[in-house]
Every structure is written in structure tokens, then in C-alpha cells.
Amino acid sequence: MKRDVVCIIPSRYESSRFPGKPLADLCGKPMIQHVYERVARAKAIPYVAVATDDQRIFDAVKIFGGNAIMTAATHRSGTDRISEAVKTLNLSADAIVVNIQGDQPIFEPAQVDEVIQPLIDNPSVNMSTLIYKIVLDEEITHPHAVKVVFDHQNFALYFSRATIPYVRDKNLRADYYKHHGIYAYRRDFLDIFTKLPEGKLEKLEALEQLRALEYGYKIKVVITPYDSVEVDNKQELERVRRILETKQ
């Protein structure tokens, strides 16, 4: 199978805050189906699959006609799960692999094109991700909204659940950016990334992208104009349901 760009959606059933989240009903479809169908609408993606360790999710994807890849249950992160999944595909070393989290059922398909552009433009970029300028004050301090700071070339300096940057002089104002769980990697970098030991900061913050930064690899950040709701609990699922019903 030769494809320049593929998208893999990592999905697991177990969740401390919302068990069974990928299969939660959302306007008559399981949530994972909404994510899958939005990925399929992206212009740059000729192939999409769900990577899971759960037979219930695997079967649900097959029922709606999607591609599903069964993976081990021992992975540390979604990226590790994706790395196993792409080994079943015949991809070139410089192929681009997109990671869309399975809890973003209303992301904009155009965001896929945004996240892969740095890898298309620059062969030296191995990993990229999307960020969004925060407009809601409560997200500046909320630990579920992961903040990011970056350098003048739009390479990430740090990601944190804490509020960064800290503004010491109260006469100054900062722009705050939150991280969207949408990534793009080169196929060969996935092998490198997943062989790295778990980082200390990665473990403390529970943020897998910090593993790359801790071991000296760069992550290009792309500012997207589109916000996205990540479903971490049933309340957020209801919020997304209302948004979808309004659009319909």
C-alpha cells in the first residue's frame, strides 16, 4: 500500500473520566464515526483507519464501513498505538502520518491540510501540531486546555497544563495558545519517537508530546483559526450534541 499521507485515529475504550467514550451515542452515531467521517472529508487524506485495542470499537468501525486496525493494549500513548498500526501499511519512510484524537468529533477537516503543510514545505520538519489562540478566559487556567509557548520560528518551547507564560508585570498582557490534539509525523520519525524512554516531564504533565522536546526533537506548531471541542466527559458530549443539532 503506497500512500503519501494517511490518517490514523487512536481509540481506546477505557477512560477514567468517561469509559466507553468512543462508542457514546452522538446524534444517532457513535462518536468515533463522527471523527472518522470528518477525516474522510479532508482533501489530503486518501486513507483513514481507527487503531484500537478493543474489539467493541473495532466492530463498531467495521459496521459503519470504516477501516480498523487492532493493536496491543500496552501502549503508553496514542502515538505509540499509531506507530504499531502503520507497520501494517506499506508506507515509504517519508510518508506523512496524521494523528487525529478520537474525542474531537467536530474538528474542521481543513485542519488536516493545515497540520501537514509544514512537512510538505520543509523536509527537515519531522513533527507538527495545531494550536489555537485562546479567547475564553477560563481556558487560560483550566488544566484540560493544554497551553503552549513557541519560538520566533513557530517551534514549540513547552506544553503545559499550567498557565504559560506567567506574566510577572501586571501591566503587561500575554497571548495564550492552547494545543489541539492533531499531529502530523514523518513515518520514519514515528519509529524514533516510540523507541524513546518515557520522559520525566511527559510523565509529570501526562503530555506525550513533551517526550519529543525532552529528547531534543522539534515540533512545529501551526496556528489554526478553528477551535475544537475535546470530549473528556459526558457534559462536553452534551455540549457537542447541542452544537451538531444547531447545525443540522
C-alpha 219/C-alpha 119 separation (Å) is: 11
Give the CATH number, domain containing residue 65: 3.90.550.10
Domain of 10, in residue numbers: 5-247
Of 57, 63, 47, 43, nearest to 8 by C-alpha is: 47
Say how far apart CA 6 and CA 81 lie, in whole Å: 15
Residue-level pLDDT at 2: 40
Burial class (CB in 10 A: 0-12, 13-18, 19+), 237: buried
Question: Given the DSSP bridges, would you call strands 68-70 and 156-160 parallel, antiparallel or unpaired?
Answer: unpaired
In terms of Cα–Cα distance, which of 139, 59, 104 is closest to 230? 104
Q: What pLDDT does residue 3 have?
A: 47
Low-confidence spans in the chain with pLDDT less than 70: 1-3, 16, 248
- The residue written with cell numbers 501591566 in the block is 171
Q: How many structural domains is the chain composed of? A: 1
Residues 29-43 have pLDDT tens digits of 999 999 999 999 998
pLDDT of residue 245: 83
∠ CA(47), CA(50), CA(51), 5° rounding?
A: 120
8 Å CB contact between 35 and 100: yes
Q: What is the pLDDT of residue 37?
A: 96
